Structure 1
Amino acid sequence: MELKYLYTVKKIIETGNYQKAAQALNYAQSTITFQIKQLEKELAIKLFEKEKQQMVLTPEGQEVLPLINQVIEASEALINFQTQDSGLKGSLTLAVPETLLTYKLQPIFKAFKAQAPHVKLSIRVMNCYAIFDEMVNGQIDAAFHYDVRNYPNRIQTHPIGTFPLVLVASPELAVDQRDFVTAHQTKSVCHIQNDRDAFYLKIFNKYLHNQDIHLETPSELWSIETIKQSVMSNLGVAYLPRFTVEAELLQGKLIELETAIQDNHMHASFGYHQNKADTPTIRLLNDLIKQQLK
């Protein structure tokens, strides 16, 4: 079995199809097709199937993916074993939501790069439901995320914090538009959001539905910093983790609006596959989490 075939499998998963994988690996597309057919023949299973415009793993492919990852990791460990530099090497692919990456995890990643400069660190930003799916499917090594579902036993998690949520507006927002407690309202206020599938937005949208509060058509800006600037310009309101707007609230650039949301906080965790628990890179990340997120 050719090790490069296993790397090709990973690249197809990452890019979504044979053509993009070929471009990324500097192969002809026919080479990718040949490698996958050879690997499928050796494993006696079908690895990929076409779904819409993407190549996705078959159920058998999903089952064998953790073994493919183990072979690749073992190979990299052998290559890096007792080389000239005894520091950490290899690669690590992490997924994280924008809010945690921007406002909570920068010190951790800075310290990680300082202590493991030869580790190829790849950080992917996505919402927590997508993170869950990619963790379960073995497409990423580890993740920081808000707890949205229960993982299977093969994935290990550690809590990293509980974070309150807050509805914010500009101090210029008209007083008669600040009531988000009274039910059965139609308000001339825009809801500014980034990803409609974000966990905290599901909480807020469910609350609006239950309270029968109707806002103007939402604006999707896909950047927390842009959202904050837009709210400060009185273009609408936003429901966000409090830590993302703490400075602006203290400076009076934003104000907090009262709601009747009962469970207005999120729990966050660091998760990784159980077979990676004793790897040096995961141990380092766990140590840094304890140091930085006390």
Structure 2
Amino acid sequence: MDIRHFKTFKSIVEEGNFSNAAMKLGYTQSTVTSQIQQLEQELSIKLFEKIGRNMVLTDLGKEMIPYANELLNTVKKIEGIGKVGDKITGELKIAVAESLMSYKLQNVLSMFKEKAPNVKLSMVSLNCYTIKTMLANGELDLGLMYDVGSKNESLSAVKLSDFNVTLVCSPQFEQEKLDFCEPNHKINTSLIINPVESVYRKIIENYFLDKNILLNNTIELGSIEAIKKCVASNLGISFLPSFTVEEELSNGTLKELKVGCVDAKITAIYGYHKNKWISPALSLFIELVREDFNII
């Protein structure tokens, strides 16, 4: 029997359906269905049955849950033998989106250094499209990025979290005289934003295009810290992940502007090549990331 099939079974139970389990595991839904069918054939029992449009657990499927949990816990313990602390060695090459690198990974990196001090960790900040390409080409062990572009079948991708995006300005900005929700007008300010590959830049530029809202120009910067300082100096406005401007909004260095795409979200994921060997070092790093983002 394939242990992965039991992991898939457990994920379906936890996530409530096949599609959510597929998203969590980085599989296609057809792969999840196939794995469950193989498991049912090997066990000679029916684990799920279709009721209406939903696949629900059979009575035997419900009986399977504690056994599957026990099996997977045992496997986890076996995998951990000899693979803890300073016994983990090797190299790890990871690429991360700049905002995630700067604001979301400090705890993970600190814990990884403590648990695996002998691993040579190489990290680089890149745009999400470049990360996906490098993962597909086998140039990286892991990528932490936003969900952009079309799905690459060679990659396993797991959702970490959805994040809000906020339009911000300087406290000196005369926001009451300007409307970023009303269409068909020009606003006398600049958009200070990351390069064109930025997923949140695409959101705000598409919004302005759809609303026919024109700004003076775009100032393109590669650093979110540089962007925030320019905005605080009243050189323009910016559209950034909310978690990157929490402190500034709290202390009054920046102010939030109302905008019609206020419900816009970006989805953070981690990904790796499906054929990549999950080394002890990579397994530990992924485990720490999942714990930090509260993914069970």
Q: TM-score range by the shorter chain?
A: 0.5 to 0.7
Matched residue SS, 2:112 = helix
3-state secondary structure, aligned to 2:110: helix
Corresponding pairs, count: 211
Evaluate the alpha carbon distance shift between residue 164 and residue 175 of structure 1 in structure 2; reply closer, same or farther with a 3 A threshold: closer
164-173 or 212-221, which deviates more: 212-221
Q: Does residue 192 of structure 2 align to residue 192 of structure 1?
A: yes
Cα distance in 1, alignment partners of residues 178 and 245 from structure 2: 18
What's the CA shift string for 1:105-136, capped at 9, x where partnerless? 11111211221111111111111111111111
Q: Give the match's secondary structure for 2:259.
A: coil
Deviations 1:163-192 (A, max 9, x none): 100100011101355411010111110110
- CA deviations on 1:253-273 (whole Å, 9 max, x unpaired) are 211111111651111111112
Q: After TM superposition, give the deviation of residue 291 of structure 1 in Å.
A: 2.2
SS in 1 for 2:188: strand
- Residues 132, 149 of structure 1: 8 Å contact kept: no
**Pair 151,135 (structure 1): closer, same or farther in 2 beyond 3 Å:** farther
Tell me which amino acid in the other structure corresponds to 2:179.
Answer: D
Unmatched runs of 5 consecutive residues or more in structure 1: 1-81
Provide, for residues 9-64 of structure 1, a one-character-per-residue CA deviation record: whole Å limited to 9, x for no partner.
xxxxxxxxxxxxxxxxxxxxxxxxxxxxxxxxxxxxxxxxxxxxxxxxxxxxxxxx
2:240 matched to 1:210?
Answer: no
SS in 2 for 1:276: coil
What secondary structure is seen at the aligned counterpart in 2 of 1:139? coil
1:101 corresponds in structure 2 to: 101
Q: For residue 153 of structure 1, report the CA deviation from its aligned partner.
A: 3.6
- Name the structure 2 match of 1:286: 286
For the aligned residue pairs, the C-alpha RMSD in angstroms reads 1.8
Does 2:243 align with 1:243?
yes
**Gap change, CA 1:133 and 1:239, over 3 Å in 2:** same
Q: Residue 88 of structure 1 aligns with which residue?
A: 88
Matched position secondary structure for 1:181: coil
Contact 1:94 1:124 in 2 (8 A): yes
Query: 3-state DSSP class of the match of 1:275?
Result: coil
Q: Retained in 2: the 8 A contact 1:95–1:123?
A: yes
Distance in 1 (alpha carbons) for counterparts of 2:262 and 2:192: 22
Aligned residue for 1:162? 162
Structure 2 unmatched runs, 5+: 1-81
Report the 3-state secondary structure (helix = DSSP H, G, I; strand = E; otherwise coil) of the residue aligned with 2:260: coil
Paired residues for 1:1-294 under 5 Å: 87-261=87-261, 264-276=264-276, 278-294=278-294
TM-score (norm 2): 0.67
Question: Which amino acid in 2 is paired with 1:207?
Answer: Y
* One-letter code aligned to 1:221: L
SS at match of 1:260: coil
DSSP-derived class of the 1:210 partner: helix
| Partner Cα distance (1:285, 1:256) in 2 | 35
Query: What is the distance in 1 between the residues matched to 2:127 and 2:202?
Result: 12
Q: CA deviation at 1:226?
A: 1.1
Change (3 A) 1:277 1:97: same
Q: Percent identity?
A: 36
Contact residue 277 and residue 283 of structure 1 kept, 8 A: no
User: What amino acid does structure 1 have at the position aligned with 2:215?
Assistant: L
Change (3 A) 1:151 1:113: farther
Mean alpha-carbon deviation: is it higher for 237-246 or for 125-134? Answer: 125-134
* SS of 1:268 mapped into structure 2: strand
Distance 1:108 1:219, change over 3 A: same
In 2: Cα distance, 1:130 partner to 1:112 partner: 25
Give the Å deviation of 1:277. 5.4
Question: Contact conserved, 1:177 with 1:189, CA < 8 A, in 2?
Answer: no
Q: What is the one-letter code of the residue matched to 1:180? A: F
How far did 1:86 drift?
5.9
Distance 1:199 1:175, change over 3 A: closer
Q: Which amino acid aligns with 2:91?
A: S
